[in-house]
Amino acid sequence: GRTMTLVDTSGVHEITVNFCACADKPPDTVQLLDLGFYPGSVKRPATAFTFKVLDDLTRHNLECKTNTREYYETLRRATRPAFPRTVPDRYREMMRCSRQWRHLKTLKWQGFGYGPFREPGPGELALFCPACPQVGVNLPDNWQVEAELPWLFARQLNMDGNFKAEQTHRKYPEDDLPLTRGSLFMCEDTRYNRYVSTAVERPQKATCHDHKAQSQSNTQAKHLAVTGIVAVACARHGCFCPGSCANLQKGERQINMDYILAQALRLTKIPGVSPTVLLYDIVCQYGVHVARRFLENAQYLGLPSPLNLLMGIGLFHVHGHQDSCGPRYSPNYMIGAGQVDGEVIETLWARMNEIAVSCRPMGHGHRTETLDFHMLNSNWQKTIGIVSTLCRKLKRAYKHVRLSAEAFANLNSVATEAQVTNWRKMEKAAAENRTKDVSAMDVYAPIMKKVIYTSFPLPCHVLTDPQHQPSLRSSATCPGRRVVGAQLKDPRAGSHQELPSRRSSA
């Protein structure tokens, strides 16, 4: 027999194993697999892991963010609580086998474990949103008949960068290659790196506030191989798009965002009967030359149909922009966008950041597979919860559509017919001209008259009567303004007296 180290959820065990010695015997690895053990090596395995322990490690990593080192140390303590260091160290073998196990499970889930094997294409192993309209997936055969309401089939995308998903330099980075190779969410490296090195950039001078995503786009950290990641998700349900996540070499450059956007448009089976709603934190800067960049880099960004985008900024970030960006890019003013906040990807980063520390020192391949698998798990959680989520939102929508209708009716009741007619004309013109000139949406901006500071006469009893004293306190009557001065006309003196200026406490 052969003494082997068998690892199970109950602990690490050293057992003598007798393999079949018949003339037509299968390989040792196949014999172990038939018994539910995953071999730690190929030629002459001396270590094996039960399927149960590999599944348990996967669940702990997904739910508790437990890395392989922590999990194996837990097994060593469970085996010999007083002397865990005397238990054989099979951490490296477990890390390697767990990576293979995750990849094999993913292949099986997506139907690649049956029949003749073929290499999965870009994004083919990814699970995408079950609710977003996809041609050949969840649309009826006669869906074109209902295309008279094109916003029903519009794809809504939310893209953003995450600078917590860093990676440090490795001594031998070429020794660790990903098993997924672009078949899940992280895009394939060779093509992407070639694009980044040859893409034509068109730096955009800041016309809005000094946003870090733009001002630090060329910042490079020498101690980091990867400064972060960028990704695209469906804006309505928060599912990562297949093949649409990429590493950052510097900051959040526009060429990086162009590539993942092209991947999302190409791989998510968009119906294409209406503009794609794109929500991005700094789209007021990003969208200026986006069409031109796509044409100049068509070798990598080429799409089957012309680029057709309806661009906006999430409701949280838009308030950090100039006032003009509000009506121009807020989803609240975009016809067909519905009630969407455009910030769903921020909630996805919150969960992904929990594995950022363990991913930081990983090799390139291991890190890519880990990010891929956690994105796949995120989409799976969205899939199994989509029915209850949509039902809950539908009930809330019924309530709020009634309240909105009442508020709208009250507004119309105090407006004249001429005003309503004029407003409708302005609304229609703004919607029609928005794609050509986003400043057409400025009709929604409030018209503010310039505040003029002036002096005004007051009788003397205003100062002497205590009940009138609060009226002179600008903080009580007009917060945020400054009272420059007041002239008091005293009939007894027959002259004007100037009050000293008083500043608001606001």
Please say if the pLDDT value at position 429 is more than 90.
Answer: yes
What is the structure's pLDDT at 391? 96
The whole-model pTM stands at 0.85
What is the structure's pLDDT at 202? 77
pLDDT digits (tens, 9 = 90+) for 372-425: 999 999 999 999 999 999 999 999 999 999 999 999 999 889 999 999 999 999
SS (H, E, C) 299-328: HHHCCCCCCCEEEECCCCHHHHCCCCHHHH
What is the structure's pLDDT at 270? 87
Sign of CA pseudo-dihedral 160, 151, 422, 418: negative
Residue by residue, DSSP assigns 228-290 as EEEEEEETTT--EEEEEEEEESSS--HHHHHHHHHHHHHHTT---SSPEEEEETTHHHHTTSH
pLDDT digits (tens, 9 = 90+) for 274-305: 789 999 999 999 999 999 999 999 999 988 88
List the 37-39 sheet strands across, edge first. 11-17, 2-8, 47-50, 37-39
**Which CB contacts under 8 angstroms, 24+ apart, belong to 487-492?**
487/455, 487/456, 487/457, 487/458, 488/457, 488/458, 488/459, 488/460, 488/463, 489/457, 489/458, 489/459, 489/460, 490/460
What's the half-sphere exposure (Cβ side, CA atoms, 13 Å) at 90? 26
Average pLDDT of the residues in 171-184: 90
pLDDT digits (tens, 9 = 90+) for 292-348: 999 999 999 988 888 889 999 999 999 889 888 999 999 999 888 888 999 999 999
List the 487-490 sheet strands across, edge first. 457-458, 487-490, 495-498
3-state class of 225 per DSSP? strand
pLDDT digits (tens, 9 = 90+) for 51-63: 999 999 999 999 9
Tokens of 70: 């922590």
The residue that leads in pLDDT, 243 or 477, is 243
Lowest-pLDDT range of 16-25, 78-87, 212-221, 424-433: 212-221
The residue that leads in pLDDT, 129 or 488, is 129
Alpha-carbon radius of gyration of the chain: 31
Instruction: Please say whether the beta carbons of 322 and 431 come within 8 A.
Output: no
Comparing CA positions, the residue from 314, 311, 320 lying closest to residue 345 is 314
**Rounded-to-integer distance, Cα 313 and Cα 325, Å:** 8
What is the structure's pLDDT at 154? 87
What is the structure's pLDDT at 460? 61
